[in-house]
Every structure is written in structure tokens, then in C-alpha cells.
Amino acid sequence: MDKILHVASMFKSQENDDGSVMIRGMASTNHSDRAGDVISKEAWEKGGLENFKNNPVILFNHDYDKPIGRATGVRVTENGLELEAKISKSAPAHVCELVKDGVLGAFSVGFKVKDADYIKETDGLLIKDAELFEVSVVSVPCNQAATFSLAKSFDSEEEYNEFKKTFTNRVDLTGQSLTKEDEISSNLVSMHLQAPRNRKNRRSKWILMNPESTWKHLLRK
């Protein structure tokens, strides 16, 4: 199924002296959403960001006729895909005001799944390779927990289930392929993953879209 999917997550905004607005947040995270789907950070490290970086326009509500700014930096972190962008001072006045007021407070990312595995424990997908097509600024829904659902991209539950069937390799939550015997004991893996784990401190570099635009005031926080 060749379909553009969307996931959304919150961002923070900061007004500049020239009237423009900077926004920054996670365009996608590697946390499981309410439907059990996960976008791994590695999904963005296989060339799927290149086309977007060539023309990193930020849209209003997925409308290609309404560009409102440009991405100024993107990087893959341990938590997923982090994005910063500048909303142009030439954008419609109501857009900037709504962003500053927090009414428009979420990124919505349009992408295609190029490779994924089926996760038995969550009945969802582990997305291993994705191509980013567009990023929009959208309103924050009343139910913010529902913002992080890949399944919302589909018109029905049946369509979502048919999409999952196109990825037949079954894995556990660690990404390891399951045999029939493994499936019987895979719940033990899930219990183990709930225990706290030490994480090594890792830094990733921003890929700057516009070197003249910096966020030093936010990076200090």
C-alpha cells in the first residue's frame, strides 16, 4: 500500500525580534503509540530525509498552497527525529499569533513506510525505514494522547489492519525475529523491557538548513 501516513507531536515556540517565530520539538518519537506502532530512530537514518532537506518547507495544515516557513535544522536523536523551524514573518498574521498562543502547537509529519516488522506484543508495526515528505504545523487536539497515533492516518480499522498485513516478518519488542517457540515466551521479553535501563550519553549533530538561523537561546536551556 503506497500511502502517506501522518503522526504528530508537540513543539515549543519562541518569538524573534523581527516578528518571526521559531519552533522546535520532536517530529516523531520512538515511543509506542496508542495503537502499538513504533517509528525507530534508525528509520530516519537510511536516506529518507534527503528529499525533504532539499526543500524543507513547513506547511500549514498539510496544504501545499500554504507554506508558512522553513525547517532550519533536523537531527536524529536517541528519542527520534528532532526538528526546528522558522515561521516566516510573512506568514498570515493569524498563523504566527496562533503558534505563539499555543493553539497551533504540534508538528504533523507526512511520510511513507518503506520497511517495517509486525510486533506481536503490541499488534503494531516497528517501522525500520521511512521517507519524510512534508511537515505541517497543526492545531493541538483536545485529546493530546490521540495525537501520537499512526492508525489515525487510515479511514477505517479494516484499512489499517490490511496495511499491517503487508509486513509479515514478526518480531518482539527488541526487534528480534520470532519463531513459533519464541512467540510462546515473548511476553517475558516485554516484562524485561519494562525494567529501567542505563542509557549512554550520546550527542547527535544538527543538520542545519539555514546556517544564519540559530537557536542558541533555546539550546542553553
| pLDDT tens readout for residues 51-81 | 999 999 999 998 999 999 999 999 999 989 9
pLDDT confidence band for 170 (50 / 70 / 90): low
Report the C-alpha gap between 150 and 38 in whole angstroms.
Answer: 9
Q: Is 62 a catalytic residue?
A: yes
What does the buried/exposed string (b/e) look like for 159-183 if buried means 16 or more CB atoms within 10 Å of the residue's CB? ebeebbeebeebbbbeeeebeeeee
Q: Is 6 a catalytic residue?
A: no
What pLDDT shows up at residue 83?
Answer: 93
Q: What range defines the domain where residue 61 resides? A: 5-118+125-150
Find the catalytic residue in 62, 121, 153, 213.
Answer: 62
> What's this model's pTM, rounded to 2 decimal places?
0.67
Residue 202 in any domain: the answer is no
Number of compact structural domains in the chain? 1
Residue 171 in any domain: the answer is no
Residue 157 in any domain: the answer is no
Residue 220 in any domain: the answer is no
Q: Is 217 a catalytic residue?
A: no
Stretch among 4-8, 59-63, 80-84, 91-95 having the lowest mean pLDDT: 4-8
Find the catalytic residue in 134, 136, 149, 186.
Answer: 134
Residue 106 in any domain: the answer is yes
HSE-CB of 100 using CA atoms within 13 angstroms = 14
Identify residue 35 by its one-letter amino acid code: A
Residue 88 in any domain: the answer is yes
Range with the largest mean pLDDT of 7-11, 124-128, 203-207, 212-216: 124-128
Find the catalytic residue in 88, 108, 149, 186.
Answer: 108
Residue 10 in any domain: the answer is yes
Q: Sign of torsion, CA 211 136 24 14?
A: positive
